Structure 1
Amino acid sequence: MKHQIPKALIFSRLIIGFAIIAFSCFHIDNYEIVAITLLTIGLLTDIFDGIVARQLNISTQKLRRLDSTVDQVFFVSVAVATYIQCPDFFASNVLKLTLLIGVEALTYVVSFLKFRKEIATHSIGAKIWTLFLFATLIQIMMQCESTILFDICFWLGILTRLEIIAIILTLKEWTTDVPSFYHALQLRQGKNIKRHKMFNG
């Protein structure tokens, strides 16, 4: 039963993401508080599903791929819900958002063209960007605007997506949990890399 905990944490993000969309569509009372609470719970499940899986020694490639895919669906769901609440913010930042989405999509295109699989690098840079994305979404939910924090999130998102593309192009074979481009170079040279047991192991 305990081996099902990581999967339960992963799939709970799907439920949370769809719930946030539903609450946004119905314009429930205190939506901001409810959405931010659910978003925070979703982020915590994202952090702990990998930690639990590694502690139980069941962190398989299949599980890591599932984690990456669900992460995408979760944050897209939150973005859709936020758009319903704050369409003016998205309209005024459409160029940056389109570019960011385009670069994100490009990482998947490159990965599928090279390895016929989706990305699951779980790089350190991507994890840091997720925290900034989390903070930015909270600010937008609360104020329907974000300037400095959104700009940081945008540029960090672009840079980390470009690093992921560089990692994919550098790797000789599809690999999960590559902390950085430097580690991808080491793997290409046939060297063993050091991964953090708790966060990238």
Structure 2
Amino acid sequence: MKSKIPAILIFSRLIIGLIIILLSLIKVDYYQTIAVVLLTIGLLTDIFDGIIARYLNISTQKLRRLDSTVDQIFFVSVGLATYIQCPEFFKTNAYKIIILGGAEILIYLVSFIKFRKEVATHSIGAKIWTLLLFGTLIQVIFQCQSIILFNLCFWVGLLTRAEIIAILLILKTWTNDVPSVFHSIQLRKGKTIKKSKLFNG
């Protein structure tokens, strides 16, 4: 049963994302509070699925690829639900959101073209950006606006997307959990990189 915990946590994010969309559509009372609580739970499952998998020594490539794909679906679901609640924010910032979305799609295109697999680098920069995205979504959910935090999220998002593309281009073979460009260079040279059960593995 323990070996199934990471997968359960991963798939729970799909359910949480769908619930947030449903709640936004039916416009339940206290939607903002409920959505933020569910978003927080989703983020916690994202943090702990990998940690638990590594401590149980079941952090396989298949599991990491699944984790990465579900992460995308989860945050897109929250974004869609937030759009339903706050369409003006998305209209005002449409071009930046489109650019970010395009950068994310480009990552997957590069990975599929080069390796025939989806990206699962789980870089440190991407983890930092996820926290910024989390904070931005909370602010938009509660206030239907975000200026400083959203702009920071936008620029950090572009930088981290660019780093992931660089990592993919540097790697000779598909590898999951590559913390940074420096580590991808080490791997290209045939060296091993130090992995932590807490952050990558």
Using the size of structure 1 for normalisation, the TM-score is 0.99
Displacement over 3 Å in runs of 4+: none
Task: Quote the residue 2:23 is aligned against.
Answer: 23
Percentage of pairs with the same residue: 69
Task: Quote the residue 1:165 is aligned against.
Answer: 165
Task: Quote the residue 1:9 is aligned against.
Answer: 9
Task: Quote the residue 1:42 is aligned against.
Answer: 42
1:183 is aligned to 2:183: yes
Task: Quote the residue 1:174 is aligned against.
Answer: 174
Unaligned runs of 5+ in 1: none
CA distance in 1, matches of 2:130, 2:182: 20
CA distance in 2, matches of 1:108, 1:49: 22
Task: Quote the residue 1:84 is aligned against.
Answer: 84
Give the drift of 1:69.
0.4
Query: Counterpart of 1:35 in structure 2: which amino acid?
Result: A
CA distance in 1, matches of 2:67, 2:132: 19
Over the aligned positions, Cα root-mean-square deviation in angstroms equals: 0.4
Unaligned runs of 5+ in 2: none
Per-residue CA distance 1:131-165 (angstroms, 9 max, x = gap) = 00000000000000000000000000000000000
Task: Quote the residue 2:149 is aligned against.
Answer: 149
Query: Counterpart of 2:47 in structure 1: which amino acid?
Result: I
Per-residue CA distance 1:88-133 (angstroms, 9 max, x = gap) = 0000000100000000100000000000000000000000000000
What does residue range 67-106 of structure 1 map to in structure 2 within 5 Å?
67-106=67-106
Give the drift of 1:44.
0.2
Query: Counterpart of 2:183 in structure 1: which amino acid?
Result: H
Task: Quote the residue 1:129 is aligned against.
Answer: 129
The alignment partner of 1:58 has SS state of coil
Query: Counterpart of 1:193 in structure 2: which amino acid?
Result: I
CA distance in 2, matches of 1:197, 1:26: 41
